[in-house]
Amino acid sequence: MMENSHHSISGETAFSFGNDANTTRHAPTRRKGNPKLIFMGTRRSGKSSIQKVIFEKYSPAETLYLEPTTKIETATMDSFMTFESLELPSTTLTGPLSAHDSLFATAGSLIWVLDMQDEYFASISLLIQTALHLLQHHPRINFEVFIHKTDGLSEEYKYDTFRDVRQRVTDELVDAGYGDRGIAFYQTSIFDHSVYEAMSKVVQKLVPQLPAMEALLNKLCSACRIQKAYLFDTVSKIYLATDASPTFLKDYEACADYVDVVVDVKQIYGWRAGQGKSGQGEEKEVDSGSVGESLITYDGSGNTYVYAREVNEYLSLICVMGQGSTADKRVLIDYNASILHEALVKMFKL
């Protein structure tokens, strides 16, 4: 009845945990251990706001009156993995970058935050200086650029500024002989989902299990005719993996908002967040019988809906179910989702 021979993903969960076969020597660095991120940028560029919103769950409005950073600020988010974040004050840029080599040596990514609404030529100059130092002394670190504070600006201005910044940086790196090294650029704002999407792509580069997670999601989407599937970190709203189908902003925003709903409902009904390392070894055993599931209609036609399933208290599978995957096929969907759930539990030893 469930057509396992054609639509089940069982027997297909033993995927390689390494990099893709097409990996080159300049592929994103996926280090073992906890993902470590460093935020840098000029004064008032928005570094603190991003860190507070993502890692400390501030609302965007609460960040408007933050004091300037005068020392290294750290943040740790205990989830299914422990994310470590450091923000270096802008005064760091007035001294030799080599003084911070011990920090760079252990980081997976450096995120340069550039204020789109301010004069940015000085920031570009310092960005290039920092990028060249890392390329010469720490070539394994991923360099990411957040072209920040895009809220309230016209689409034309955002596009022109983004293109200008990217072109200037790329030209300088080519002139310095590093044209083959990719630097990723993102348009971000803490007032919409763009900063979460950018952080998701940054963190994905540091997760060794990413190829395996993507393969699992591709199998699930194929077996159940799912329109789009995400694995969300429930605490941060960062998605750790998605399937290979195109990502549409509407789908992503619906899933991200649904994560908020799931967390709010849990808190109303007494859900308690994990205690991380301070929990004295008390780990809640997860089984498929205790994992929450929910459905919500996505559009007026009722043909598209969101399917949510917890993997554990930190990790959630959120899917946009489209044509051909109606709610009356829940048995097949639940069966395949449970297989993916079991594979993820084994993968991360949850």
pLDDT in tens, 69-89: 999 999 988 777 788 999 999
Domain boundary at 147, 176, 204, which?
204
d(CA 225, CA 326): 9
CATH number for the domain that contains residue 231: 3.30.450.190
137 domain residue, yes or no:
yes
- Domain match, 216 and 197 both: no
- Domain match, 194 and 261 both: no
Mean pLDDT of 307-320: 87
Domain boundary at 168, 183, 204, which?
204
Encode pLDDT of 207-265 as tens digits: 888 999 999 999 999 998 889 999 998 888 899 999 999 888 888 888 988 888 877 77
- Domain match, 171 and 225 both: no
- Domain match, 218 and 245 both: yes
- Domain match, 187 and 240 both: no
Q: For residue 78, what are the domain limits?
A: 36-204
CA distance to 72, 93, 165, 344, per residue, from 69 (Å)? 8, 13, 25, 39
pLDDT at residue 350 greater than cutoff 80: no
d(CA 104, CA 194): 26
CATH number for the domain that contains residue 93: 3.40.50.300
Q: Are 136 and 102 in contact (CB under 8 A)?
A: no
User: In the predicted model, what is the mean pLDDT of the chain?
Assistant: 81
pTM over 0.75: yes
d(CA 178, CA 10): 45
Domain boundary at 179, 204, 229, which?
204
- Domain match, 194 and 214 both: no
Number of domains observed in the structure of the chain: 2
- Domain match, 68 and 149 both: yes
